[in-house]
Amino acid sequence: MRVTEQGGTRPPQQTTGGSPFGWAEPLPDAEVERALVVAAHPDDADFGAAGTVAGWVAAGIEVTLLLCTRGDQGGFDDTPRDEMPLLREREQRAASAAVGVTDVRFLDGFNDGWLEPTWDLQREIVRVLRDVRPQRVLCQSPVRMLQRLQASHPDHLAAGEATVRAVYPASENRFAWPELVLEEGLEPWKVVELWLMAHPDSPHTVDITDRFDRKVAALQAHASQTAHLGDGLEGMLRGWNAANAERAGLPEGHLAEVFAVSRIN
């Protein structure tokens, strides 16, 4: 199990497990100018990576958040469904501000609960990839965890699969949706590394102890999704992140988020 403060300082091509096909060590944050985070719904990235993203921003990385839907099927109250998309968009922008992210984008035309890794979804993600031109991409794992099915929401899997396909090979291939080049001037882009959250095998651990308050603030901003938890929200998050830290061998009292990192280029 590897542990870093924020993104690691080991050589970027180093892998573990004695195999050239092991998970990669992440690039040092100092070598990353831009990062793109892609998730299915508002709040997904904050549950999985808010502390890590806050660290990236603090390190000077320009972070863009892309949401595939506006989460209109979420919530635990009687808020009218037609009001939920705008409400959740506002909540996500407030949550992102809590971790220092100001570039928050939403795709149109994709519905919460019905997300699939279609060509249309892949094209829209490729469009953003070529516009942002990130060295680092973070998305949800496309792998279903049958041992813990509630950790594998179908929309999360779809967003992850579409992002993985968009990162490679579509974003690199100028003949994938050539109109993106010919009509919009969006030249192909090669992503260096892909981070997966909620993956069954997540050996890269990021210590977020000093940024845990940012994570709590971000999740509190998603009031339509978390207000029913009351004071229990912080305890729930602390429990999850403490368990991650313990598995990584961090000292008692530390908190962590975990990822799998794949080197692409």
H/E/C letters for each residue in the chain? CEEECCCCCCCCCCECCCCCCCCECCCCHHHCCEEEEEECCCCHHHHHHHHHHHHHHHCCCEEEEEECCCCCCCCCCCCCHHHHHHHHHHHHHHHHHHCCCCEEEECCCCCCCCCCCCHHHHHHHHHHHHHHCCCEEEEECCCCCHHHHHHCCHHHHHHHHHHHHHHCCHHHCCCCCCHHHHCCCCCCCCCCEEEEECCCCCCEEEECHHHHHHHHHHHHHCHHHHHHHCCHHHHHHHHHHHHHHHHCCCCCCCCEEEEEEEECC
Percentage of the chain lying above the pLDDT 90 cut: 84
Q: Look at residues 58, 48, 38, 29 and name the one whose alpha carbon lies nearest to residue 202.
A: 48
Task: Tell me the pLDDT of the chain (265 aa) as tens digits.
Answer: 456 655 443 333 333 333 467 899 999 999 999 999 999 999 999 999 999 999 999 999 999 999 999 998 876 667 788 889 999 999 999 999 999 999 999 999 999 999 999 999 999 999 999 999 999 999 999 999 888 877 789 999 999 999 999 999 999 999 999 999 999 999 999 999 999 999 999 999 999 999 999 999 999 999 999 999 999 999 999 999 999 999 999 999 999 999 999 999 9
**Which tens digits make up the pLDDT trace of 127-183?**
999 999 999 999 999 999 888 877 789 999 999 999 999 999 999 999 999 999 999
pTM above 0.85, yes or no: yes
Q: Look at residues 103, 164, 156, 161 and name the one whose alpha carbon lies nearest to residue 132.
A: 103
Q: At what angle do helices 212-221 and 232-247 cross, to 10 degrees?
A: 140
DSSP strand pairing (103-106 vs 256-263): unpaired
Structure token digits, residue 263: 């080197």
Place of tokens 């090669």: 190
What structural domains and CATH numbers belong to the chain? 32-263 (3.40.50.10320)
